[in-house]
Amino acid sequence: MMIELTYATYIVISIGMTIWVANSLSKNGQVFMVDSFDGNELLAKSVNHLLVVGFYLLNIGYILLALKTHKEIETLRVCIEFLSGRIGIVLLVLGTLHLINVIVIAKWRNHAVNKNNLRAEGIEV
């Protein structure tokens, strides 16, 4: 019974964190996205949504793949150790995906800024 409780706890915490992080990044990143897409709010909103969907798919897929263990979980201590290790890895994956998204979007933003600077100088882009 302890293993089932451990698995359920892991799933609830990991997916809950994934949803919280995705919502937070989506909501707070909207201004950055609009700026990155040269003020095109519709495109920014669409790309933001696609990033959230991809974020969910990657993270929830990983969470479910990482669920299985061959370790005997018979005590609360072993349960906590298992959960902390697995949830720590989920947090590292969430952070890495966020960092990759920020880097890619920053590159799009730099491209848009450079394009606007060239236009301002009268150079056709």
Q: Which residue has the tokens 């236009």?
A: 119
Q: Which residue has the tokens 């609009």?
A: 34
Q: Is the pLDDT of residue 15 over 90?
A: yes
Q: What whole-number percentage of the chain has pLDDT above 90?
A: 26
Q: Model pTM?
A: 0.75
pLDDT in tens, 22-39: 898 889 888 888 888 878
Least reliable range by pLDDT among 22-26, 76-80, 92-96, 114-118: 114-118
**Contact (CB, 8 A) for 97 and 120:** no
Residue 125 banded pLDDT, cuts 50, 70, 90: low
